[in-house]
Amino acid sequence: MVPDANPQTFGDLEPSRWPGERLGLPEEGRGSVARAGRRILALLVDWGSAMLLSLLVTPYESVAYTWVTPLVFAVLQIVFIPTIGGSLGHRLFGMHVVAVEGGWVGFVRPIVRTGLLLLVIPALVWDSDQRGFHDKVARTVLIRS
């Protein structure tokens, strides 16, 4: 039996040979999908930066600190993704965020992506291209620089 060239259901879709194959990205090197290790390290850098900046305006023991830190994290993501191509952590570990369709990522995609990232669960749900749900909804992909 020959598989359907245009699968209509999820179960009919052939598995990718490497993350990003369906997106037309290379298997490894520059332009390939950033792998989990780099992503996690970048997230730790970004969250740590947000915590440090939050300490400048709120004491650690305060209830405000628990709300200011995610807000600072969100602002850093939303400002840096469209301006320098990724967060400080992304850039430090050789990655950047791009629109799946190509071109400039814009302002809306980083807002959507960051909002879902702050919910945590969407970032833990990945597809075969190793894109989190937050990237799928925002139509972005985190690639190696």
- pLDDT digit string, tens, across residues 13-34: 677 889 999 899 999 999 999 9
- Predicted local confidence at residue 3, as pLDDT: 46
Contact status, residue 129 vs residue 23, Cβ threshold 8 Å: yes
Tell me the pLDDT tens digit for each residue of 45-70. Answer: 999 999 999 999 999 999 999 999 99
Please tell me the predicted confidence (pLDDT) of residue 18: 92
Give percent of the chain above pLDDT 90.
Answer: 81
33: β partners:
143
- The residue count of the chain comes to 145
Secondary structure (3-state) at 119: coil
Alpha-carbon span 81 to 87, nearest angstrom:
6
Domain ranges of the chain: 25-144
Higher pLDDT, 6 or 129: 129
Q: How many other β-carbons are positioned within 10 Å of the β-carbon of residue 24?
A: 8
Which residue has better confidence, 22 or 72? 72
pLDDT band at residue 4 under the 50/70/90 scheme? very low
* Mean pLDDT, rounded, for 28-42: 95
Structure-token pair, residue 74? 């969100």
